[in-house]
Structure 1
Amino acid sequence: MRIVGMDIHRVAAEAVALLEGKLVKLGRIPMLRDSLEAFARTALAKDDHVVVEATGNAAAVVEVLAPHVDRVVIANPKQVRLIAHAKIKTDAIDAAVLAKLYATGFLPQVWVPDEPTLAVRRQVARRTQLVRQRVRLKNLIQSILYTYLVPPCPHGNLTGISGRKWIAAQSSPGPLRAAIRHHLAQIDLIEGSLKEVEADIARATMSDPVVRRLMTLPSIDMTVASGVAAAIGDIRRFADPTKLVGYLGLNPSTRQSGEGPAYHGRITKQGRGQARGMLVEAAWAAARSPGPLRAFFQRIAAKRGKPITAVATARKLAMIIWHMLTKNEDYIWVRPALLARKFRTIELKAGLPAEHAKRGAAYDYNIPEKRAAERAPVEAAEMAYADLTSRWRTRPGARKAAKEKVSAPS
């Protein structure tokens, strides 16, 4: 069995084969689908193992090479220190190091999801990019209004129906109107693309049991559930909730040496950054929804401030998600009418007919009495959690005594 290391870049890749301790250069391959196919057919064998680094085009390389070899492995570049800190560094040397590390069993590998999961990841990433572009254009409109001394818009959505009517009613110079009209036209194009992307996500995840389970959490909608589920993949990869927290980069960094105390700093921000950002957004939503999560948010915010608390709540959400998926259980404080409304939103985005004359379970959310009846036990759980945690406060002088005990000479 040969081990083929490939150092891939945007334009080309360098390939080196390791067989019985000897390295053989296989040449430089252009990073084109036809060139990779030709390389796989002529230079690779069915029992070869190919090793590549995790880059933006690594998934496409795996897709092309996988049918022609026994296995394709993606290495984690942040953990391959022999490559990152090498004094003599060439593409051929990097490819050889990948092959040698894999042969000795010391190569840190990246989990490769299946094609449906990759497709959802791509669509969620595309939606995030479109939302950022829309925010940027809205900020440009705000800056133009500010430059020409136009008062702030009294409506919540500047680019909505009411906001656009308000902009049209303002007396402003011709260049101002032309610039704003241009940006609004771009926003319309982006929102059209957003609807298409969200429809694709809805169709792909409408019947996914993992996505539907995650949506039982009050602060998680279809987009967050799809993004987090696609980032996690198989929950069995994580032996305990702290492993999932670390994978999402929500664990605090730690510095400790010798017999000194451990110091904890900011979160590591390693792993799936997009899923981490979505969980932080869900944490802000949890702060506005009744339940124990809101009580947790308020308790931490009183001591550490809201930005730090949002990250702590996102970490709490990740741990809850691990328990839910591992035990195959929904969130205990789920609100049925709210959940039915979320599911119905997915169906509508996927293109199912509206059926206005038919009132299903989602309609109960529009009835104030039923909505209040569902909120009552959740609010009671929130109060019970707040009452329980209020007794966790440190006794007067206990924290100071603990510090003196640690600093006292032995």
Structure 2
Amino acid sequence: MIFLGIDVSKFKHNCFLSNGDNFDLGQHFEIENSREGFDFLFDKLSPYDRDNIRIGLEYTGNYHLNLSRFLLNLNFNIHFFNPFQTSLFRRADSFRNTKTDKVDAFFIAKLLKTTYDSNPTLFEFYHNYDLKSLCRYKSVLKKDRSRLKNSIVSCLDIVFPELCNVCNDVFSKYVLAILYEFSSAYEISKANITRLSNLIKNASRGAYSKDKALVIRDAARNSIGYFSSSVSFQLKQSIDYLYFLDKKIDEINEMIKPLLDEINSPIMSIPGVGIELGPTIISEIGDISRFDSSSKLLAYVGLDPSINQSGTFHSSFSTMSKRGSSYLRDSLFKAAFIISQIEPVFKEYYLKKKAEGKHHYVALTHVARKLVRLIFHLLKEDEVYVSKV
């Protein structure tokens, strides 16, 4: 069996090739991250039987994607490792505190031999990559939107602090429409009531009209808000950017929908797992065949408890390991909160944990673990969720 460990980087990839009998006699070489480099690697591997070659890489940013796609297209067996896993293996194998690209490639090759029973990555891995890429990009935009909303609230605290008292949601469409045209209490107090009423009526689709306009204008006339042209300008710019982000997030959701239809995952049948959470959970878990048990999936998510025990000492306090994807863990917690409110089995389980004296977030962690076990079962058996009402 031939083992090839590859330490990937932006401009070049360090490789270590060995037949597995004696790794000290293996061959080290570098390839450029280019077509010429990829072709050179293929020539290096050509003398060997393709079925007897195992290739290992780390998940390192996005630098591994082009190389691994090239090798998968040629039907090579690819195995991915978490950088944390290879780091622990390197430390366990050697007392030397040495980390170079050459050393990393060497230990990835050795780890390949140690984990001989691991399943290779299938080409379907890249069908999932597009979904994961879109979900993570959407997460970035949603964080930007959250920060922007905080900025808008800060502006309102200066120019019209009373607005939140007369409007339940300052980010509702009709409120944003008013602020975009009249971006301070002073401007609203001078606004024509007919113009203000029409703005509210059109933006709220008839839900509010003149009565709400009068309430808002009266609050503006009695406001302690300070009129600042610079803050009003910032408020209007922020609202404009908020509209832009909302539009881009909607466009991403439209791109996600056909990918979801193609994957047709049972995860989408779980109550509370919709277009906002489902795609992230599906893409971050990926191929369920990588996990032999639900406990391994829990460890991958980072929801398994950390254990501290030595000799007769047993720590009574444990926390989540949090080793896995933060995107996945965050989506699972949000899904756990929703499902504990609307699904009887999970609601009963949450209330049981609360009755045991557990804090809300601790109880929610238990619900999230139960949800992971459910997801593992549904994916393994390819079953849709049926509510037990």
TM-score range, shorter chain: 0.7 to 0.9
Deviation at 1:281, TM superposition (A): 0.6
Deviation at 1:132, TM superposition (A): 1.1
Deviation at 1:83, TM superposition (A): 3.2
In structure 2, relative to structure 1, the CA distance for the partners of 1:191 and 1:53 (3 Å cut) is same
Aligned length: 331
Please point out which of 102, 105, 108 is paired with 2:112.
102
Q: Matches of 1:314 and 1:140 in 2, distance apart?
A: 32
Identity of aligned residues (%): 21
Please point out which of 221, 228, 244 is paired with 1:189.
244
In structure 2, relative to structure 1, the CA distance for the partners of 1:290 and 1:64 (3 Å cut) is closer
Please point out which of 364, 378, 381 is paired with 1:310.
364
Describe the SS at the equivalent of 1:17: strand
Q: Residue type of the partner of 1:96?
A: F
Q: Does 1:114 align with 2:125?
A: yes
Please point out which of 249, 262, 265 is paired with 2:318.
265
Q: Does 1:214 align with 2:267?
A: yes
Q: Does 1:59 align with 2:74?
A: no
Q: Residue type of the partner of 1:266?
A: T
Contact 2:32 2:38 in 1 (8 A): no
| Alignment partner, residue 40 of structure 1 | 41
| Alignment partner, residue 29 of structure 2 | 26
Q: How large is the RMSD of aligned CA atoms in angstroms?
A: 2.9
Q: Does 1:141 align with 2:152?
A: yes
Describe the SS at the equivalent of 1:288: helix
Q: Residue type of the partner of 1:120?
A: L
Describe the SS at the equivalent of 1:142: helix
Q: Matches of 1:296 and 1:6 in 2, distance apart?
A: 46
Q: Matches of 2:249 and 2:322 in 1, distance apart?
A: 27
Q: Matches of 2:311 and 2:278 in 1, distance apart?
A: 42
In structure 2, relative to structure 1, the CA distance for the partners of 1:35 and 1:131 (3 Å cut) is farther
Kindly report which structure 2 residues correspond to 1:2-401, keeping only aligned pairs within 5 A, or say none: 2-19=2-19, 21=22, 22-27=25-30, 29-31=31-33, 33-45=34-46, 47=50, 48-57=53-62, 58-68=64-74, 70-80=76-86, 81-83=88-90, 86-105=96-115, 114-148=125-159, 150-151=161-162, 153=164, 154-167=166-179, 168=182, 170-171=185-186, 172-206=227-261, 208-210=263-265, 213-261=266-314, 263-289=316-342, 291-302=344-355, 303-333=357-387, 378=389
CA deviations over 1:66-125 (Å, ceiling 9, x no partner): 334732322222122243574122211221222233235479888565221122111111
Q: Matches of 1:84 and 1:140 in 2, distance apart?
A: 46
Q: Scaled by the length of structure 2, what TM-score is found?
A: 0.74
Contact 1:214 1:330 in 2 (8 A): yes
Q: Residue type of the partner of 2:61?
A: G
Q: Residue type of the partner of 1:323?
A: H
Contact 2:78 2:120 in 1 (8 A): no
Contact 1:79 1:108 in 2 (8 A): no
Deviation at 1:282, TM superposition (A): 1.2
Q: Matches of 1:219 and 1:132 in 2, distance apart?
A: 21
Q: Matches of 1:263 and 1:228 in 2, distance apart?
A: 31
Deviation at 1:240, TM superposition (A): 3.4
In structure 2, relative to structure 1, the CA distance for the partners of 1:209 and 1:103 (3 Å cut) is closer
| Alignment partner, residue 210 of structure 2 | none
Q: Matches of 1:217 and 1:240 in 2, distance apart?
A: 20
Deviation at 1:135, TM superposition (A): 0.9
Q: Scaled by the length of structure 1, what TM-score is found?
A: 0.71
In structure 2, relative to structure 1, the CA distance for the partners of 1:4 and 1:267 (3 Å cut) is same
Can you give the 5+ residue segments of structure 2 that lack an aligned partner in the other structure?
187-226
In structure 2, relative to structure 1, the CA distance for the partners of 1:277 and 1:71 (3 Å cut) is same
Deviation at 1:208, TM superposition (A): 4.0
Deviation at 1:138, TM superposition (A): 0.9
Q: Matches of 1:23 and 1:313 in 2, distance apart?
A: 49
Can you give the 5+ residue segments of structure 1 that lack an aligned partner in the other structure?
335-377, 379-410
In structure 2, relative to structure 1, the CA distance for the partners of 1:208 and 1:265 (3 Å cut) is same
Contact 2:346 2:367 in 1 (8 A): yes
Contact 2:163 2:170 in 1 (8 A): no
Q: Residue type of the partner of 1:6?
A: I
Q: Matches of 2:260 and 2:270 in 1, distance apart?
A: 16
Describe the SS at the equivalent of 1:89: coil
